[in-house]
A = this chain, B = another copy of it.
Amino acid sequence: MNRPLRQDLSAAIPEGVAALLEKEIIFGELAPMARLTEEEVAARYGVSRSPVREALRLLERDGLVLRAARRGIWVAPLSLKDFDEIYTCRIELEGVAAEQAAMSSDTERKKQFAGLLEELRAAHARGDGREFFMVDVRGSALTYDLSDNRTLKRLLASLDKQALRYRFIGYTHNPEIVDITMTHTAAIYDAIVGGQAERAKELTEHIIHYIWQFMRGAIAENFGKE
């Protein structure tokens, strides 16, 4: 009963289950405050409760689920306050990451930005918002890698997962957010590849602040009260 799924989960079952649940949460297939029971998740993926528990610990770390001792587990709710909290942190850390990435001399990996930009443009042209964000995340991951700071990378990877939930909702309600992101991302990639550290940092901070304020409207509409 557990054999078939083991293949899909690429060796590490907890991380595999976490990745699958992550996607479901980020893209709204699992609604905010949806109840998760360990046994149900275990049955769904054909594994036992042990790795599921570890997967849920990972999701808790990234703020995607809430746990109450002996009460249960829920998909973390979304709120305007939470959104503001995340962006308050992101604006600082993404700025540093872009700055440090620009200072990297790893020209070989910097070339990957060109390919990513093409993928972004393709997804943008197709109007595929979901794919757009997935590629955008890979661009961020590349930036974090170039910054050569494992601690920063760890913090941002965690923040990004939360942020992506809001970004996807924002896109759903205001598709032009993809247009804005598209334009600005190109400028940032340029600065990073060109080694303009200060510019990369300022651009990143400015742009994140801009998108933050732009998205607040859509977010407030849905979660203003909470």
Q: Which residues on A are within 8 Å of B, measured CB to CB?
A: 11-12, 50, 53-54, 57-58, 61, 63, 69, 82, 85-86, 88-89, 92-93, 95-96, 100, 149-152, 154-155, 158-159, 162
CB distance from A131 to the nearest CB of B (A): 27
Cβ–Cβ contact B155 & A151, under 8 A: no
Q: List 8 A-B contacts (CB under 8 A).
A: A11-B69, A85-B150, A89-B93, A89-B152, A89-B155, A92-B95, A92-B96, A155-B155
- Chain B residues within an 8 Å CB radius of A93: 89, 92-93
How many copies, total?
2
Chain B, Cβ-Cβ closest to A50: B50
Cβ–Cβ contact A152 & B88, under 8 A: yes
Instruction: Knowing that A53-B54, A63-B154, A89-B152 touch, tell me 7 more A-B residue pairs with CB under 8 angstroms.
Output: A50-B50, A54-B57, A61-B61, A82-B150, A85-B152, A89-B93, A93-B93
- Chain B residues within an 8 Å CB radius of A12: 69
- Chain B residues within an 8 Å CB radius of A158: 155
- Chain B residues within an 8 Å CB radius of A85: 149-152
- Chain B residues within an 8 Å CB radius of A53: 54
CB distance from A102 to the nearest CB of B (A): 14
Kindly state the separation between the CA atoms of A11 and B69 in the bound complex, as whole angstroms. 10
- Chain B residues within an 8 Å CB radius of A100: 88
CB distance from A35 to the nearest CB of B (A): 21
Chain B, Cβ-Cβ closest to A57: B57
CB distance from A49 to the nearest CB of B (A): 10
Given contacts A154-B63, A155-B155, contact A149 B88 (CB under 8 A): yes
- Chain B residues within an 8 Å CB radius of A82: 150-151
Given contacts A12-B69, A96-B92, contact A86 B151 (CB under 8 A): yes
Kindly state the separation between the CA atoms of A93 and B91 in the bound complex, as whole angstroms. 10
Picked from B50, B58, B149, B159, the residue with its CB within 8 Å of the CB of A151 is B159
- Chain B residues within an 8 Å CB radius of A69: 11-12
